[in-house]
Structure 1
Amino acid sequence: MRRAAYAIMLAFGIFLLVMPISVPVFHTSADFSVFNTNWNGASKFGKLLYEESRVVPVITSYNSFDLSERKGVLLILGPDMRYSPLEVGEVKNFLNNGGTLVLIDDFGTGNDILEGLNLSARFLGITPIDVFYSKNYNFPEVVRILDPQLGIGVDKLILNVPSAIIGANGSIYTSKVTVVGNNQRELPVMSEVKYGKGKIILFADPSVFINDMFDENEPFIRNFVRYLNADTVYIDEAHHSNFNPYAVGTLVIRRSLDRVKAFYVVLAVAVTAILVESGLALKGVGKILELILGKIFKEEEKSLDEVIEKLKKEGYDESILRKMIKEIETGKKLGG
């Protein structure tokens, strides 16, 4: 009977190690969301981030998330909801503590943060026109990538209705014949600004990172992810106005047997069997119960003086009591 019980314990332990795990799968239709697998989502970009870093989605306000107390990279991609002063304060403290802000925007609400941080850098908010483009002028091609780490294996970077950055130097520029209004000049598409103990990376086209543009820009996107060099990336999903995650099913993860864990399961069952069969387990339980009961029921020992004092109060003669005790101690008989 006991052998059957041990066999069941062993089988159950192994089963827990190899049983499949069902994980719910969520999607959203929000633009630029890493949970969106459609053309306008950034799920492929999110997958690259996950391969290089620990990814934590932020789906609540920064002050509720306690951003200022965290370390790592805050990545904001295509925000379209305003940032409160409290949230900007959290970003400021996050940067002062050594964090990195990656703000990728064009016509959204990213300037709320830059203004709140009292920076001169801004997203231009309009689309510059360049004579070098891919499909049409909405898809300008950028080849001037000054940072060698970002330019590895990149012949060109194709933008998609981009903005530009003003008030800061850049590491990636449009061509020198780019037209903005009545002016013709090169404009930064990517800039990096020091802030406190941290830094801010600005990029003026979130569409570069969407699934529809991924194949064309994959070498650059991979370089960009490595450039971040982050242990933890906090991805802002809270400032996508139509972020509406919904479950579309479950992902079943099948696991192979881990030999080390299986060994520990066998060892645990073997130790249990030895303890039970040898009676050590029962003795151990008995000792524990004995200690517990002893603590509960053990009476405090009283001194002879305390006993005599108690009997004295009940009317006994103290001298007679002490004489009786003395004779008991010396082995004499009463009256001897």
Structure 2
Amino acid sequence: MAIVIAASTSTATFGGYNIDWDGTSEFRELADQQSESQIALETTAYERSNTSETTAIILAPEEPYTANDSRRVRAFVRSGGTVVIADDFGSEGNALLSAVGADARFNGTQLLDEREYYQAPSLPVATNITDSQYTSDVAQLTLNGATAIDANGSTVLATSSRFGYLDRDGTGGLSPGDELSTYPVVTVESVGDGRVIAVSDPSVFINTMLTQPDNEAFATALLETRQQTLLDYSRAGEQPPLSIILLAVRSSVVVQMGIVGVGIGFVWAYGVFGRFTSRSIWGGLLEIVPEPLRDHFPIWLREITSGDEDTPTELIDEDTLLRSLSQRHPEWDETRLRQVMTDVLSERSRTEDDE
């Protein structure tokens, strides 16, 4: 059990298989409920997606997207796909925004709010929400260590309260020169035939924050805009090996055919060798069972220890079984003997002429 859990879960921050507070396993399950979701560990998944029906979500990429990777994401957006890029203080989010042709940029300075916050000013609450298909049923967003977005002409969907400020000197509090204002935290813009949504805090989607007002409603609205969701974890750190194997099986017809072939081979091998071997094993086990208790086991098991262990039960014909049973139970008539024989016959392949 421990090995299976370790092989199927992850400790990567924002990881889809991380069930701890900083993982996004609950968001992944929400995506399964709200849409036809697919986890992508390679950007080739963008090329197989129906762009007009798919929203791709990228959370805090840890590694840069290569030129080919960026080209695939850009082509996906320009042909009608929607991509959500959520990042805060890393550089990879801005690099990807630039690569796909978006104008918005993550500021990279921590956003604080001394008035509207959850537990601490470093967890500001975005109280100004613009009505849109991406913010339906959302009255606020609860952030955790967020930055702001330099909109650069993109449409702002959510901002901090008017008491928000950027901690440019890193003091963790309001300093002279800090400007109180409403700072964008969610933007959307058109790129080609698609759209790019920037979210200045990927923590909105982690397990411990998803239940805070109104983060789950925001996540649901993003997922419901399209029928399909592509969860891009290609740059989200290490993934659990068992999950990688399952994803590889689901995404590759060749792998699926190989597994089917191996399964057929096992079935054939068991049909040829397995039954005899299994009966030899059962015979060894029954040798240590006291004689009086053996009468409670099925007949085919008792035959193993009392008869020739080298002869599989399948090779014993009806006449042999009938004689054996009549010798053991002379008080039984033939009708009852044949009824008992069905226990044995059911263990082998029976023809339509069998009783």
1:234 to 230, 234, 238: 230
Cα 1:245–1:147, aligned 2, differ >3 Å: closer, same or farther?
same
2:124 matched to which residue of 1?
Answer: 140
Q: Spell out, residue by residue over 1:18-66, the C-alpha distance to the aligned partner (whole angstroms, 9 max, x if none).
A: xxxxxx9821111112211111101111111110111111112x2xx15
SS of the residue aligned with 2:229? strand
Matches of residues 306-317 of structure 1 in structure 2 within 5 Å?
none
Letter in 2 for 1:137: P
Q: Secondary structure at the match of 1:238?
A: coil
Does the 8 Å contact 2:136/2:221 carry over to 1? no
Instruction: Kindly report which structure 2 residues correspond to 1:283-294, keeping only aligned pairs within 5 A, or say none.
Output: none
Q: 2:106 is matched with which residue?
A: 123
- Residues 1:25 and 1:147: Cα distance change in structure 2 (over 3 Å): farther
Structure 2 counterpart SS, 1:140: strand
Find the counterpart in structure 2 of residue 95 from structure 1. 77
Q: Tell me which amino acid in the other structure corresponds to 1:113.
A: L
The verdict on how the C-alpha distance between 1:213 and 1:245 changes in structure 2, with shifts beyond 3 A counting, is same
- Report the Cα distance in structure 2 between the residues aligned to 1:88 and 1:202, rounded to whole angstroms: 16
- Whether 1:50 aligns to 2:29 is no
Equivalent pair of 1:147/1:172 in contact (CA under 8 Å): no
The yes-or-no answer on 1:39 pairing with 2:15 is no
Q: Choose between structure 1 and 2 for higher RCO, CA contacts under 8 A separated by at least 6 residues.
A: 1
CA distance in 1, matches of 2:72, 2:133: 30
- Distance (whole Å) between structure 1 residues aligned to residue 40 and residue 87 of structure 2: 17
Q: State, as a whole percentage, how many aligned pairs show the same letter.
A: 27
Question: Secondary structure of the residue that 1:110 maps to in structure 2?
Answer: helix
Kindly tell me: are residues 240 and 224 of structure 1, through their superposed partners in 2, closer, same or farther at Cα, counting changes over 3 Å? Answer: closer
How far off its partner does 1:158 sit?
1.4
Q: What is residue 67 of structure 1 aligned with on the other side?
A: 46
| Cα distance between partner residues in 2 of 1:197 and 1:165 | 23
Q: Does 1:208 pair with 2:187? A: no
1:150 Cα deviation (Å)?
Answer: 5.5
| Range moving further from structure 2, 81-90 or 227-236 | 227-236
List alignment gaps of at least 5 residues for structure 1.
1-23, 249-275, 278-336
1:148 to 1:75, Cα distance in 2 relative to 1, 3 A: closer
Q: Which amino acid aligns with 1:70?
A: S
Shift of 1:200: 0.7
The equivalences for 1:184-223 within 5 A come to 184-217=180-213, 219-223=214-218
- 1:224 deviates by 3.1
Distance in 1 (alpha carbons) for counterparts of 2:45 and 2:204: 30
2:160 paired with 1:179: no
1:152 CA displacement = 5.4
The aligned residue for residue 165 of structure 1 is 149
SS of corresponding position for 2:58: strand
Contact 1:68/1:97 (<8 A) preserved:
no
Whether the aligned pair in 1 keeps the contact of 2:205 and 2:219 (CA below 8 Å) is: no
**What's 1:80 paired with?**
62
Q: CA deviation at 1:246?
A: 4.2
- Contact preservation (8 Å) 2:102, 2:189: no
Q: What is the alpha-carbon distance in structure 2 between the residues aligned to residue 140 and residue 238 of structure 1?
A: 29
Normalised by the size of structure 2, how large is the TM-score? 0.58
- Output the amino acid matched with 2:123: F
Aligned match for 1:105, one of 87, 94, 109: 87
Q: Distance in 2 between matches of 1:94 and 1:135?
A: 39
User: Deviations along 1:76-98, whole A, 9 cap, x unmatched?
Assistant: 01211111121111111111211
Mapping for residues 293-308 of structure 1, pairs under 5 Å = none
Measure how far apart 1:172 and its partner are. Answer: 0.5
Indicate how the Cα distance of structure 1 residues 126 and 78 shifts in structure 2: closer, same or farther if over 3 A, else same: same
Compute the TM-score of the two structures, normalised by the length of structure 1: 0.61
Inter-CA distance 149–90: structure 2 relative to 1 (3 Å threshold) = closer
Question: What is the one-letter code of the residue matched to 1:119?
Answer: A
Offset at residue 244 of structure 1 (A): 3.0
Partner of 1:319: none
Question: Paired residues, what number?
Answer: 224
The question of whether the paired residues in 1 share the 8 Å contact of 2:26 and 2:207 is answered with yes
Instruction: Give distance in 1, aligned partners of 2:45 and 2:236.
Output: 19
CA deviation after TM superposition for structure 1 residue 195, in Å? 0.7
Letter in 1 for 2:149: I
Structure 2 vs 1, CA of residues 91 and 149 (structure 1 numbering), >3 Å: closer, same or farther?
Answer: closer
CA distance in 2, matches of 1:227, 1:240: 20
- Over alpha carbons, which structure has the higher Rg? 1
Listed as ranges, the matches of 1:12-23 within 5 Å are none
RMSD between superposed Cα atoms in Å: 2.6
Q: SS of the counterpart of 1:40?
A: coil
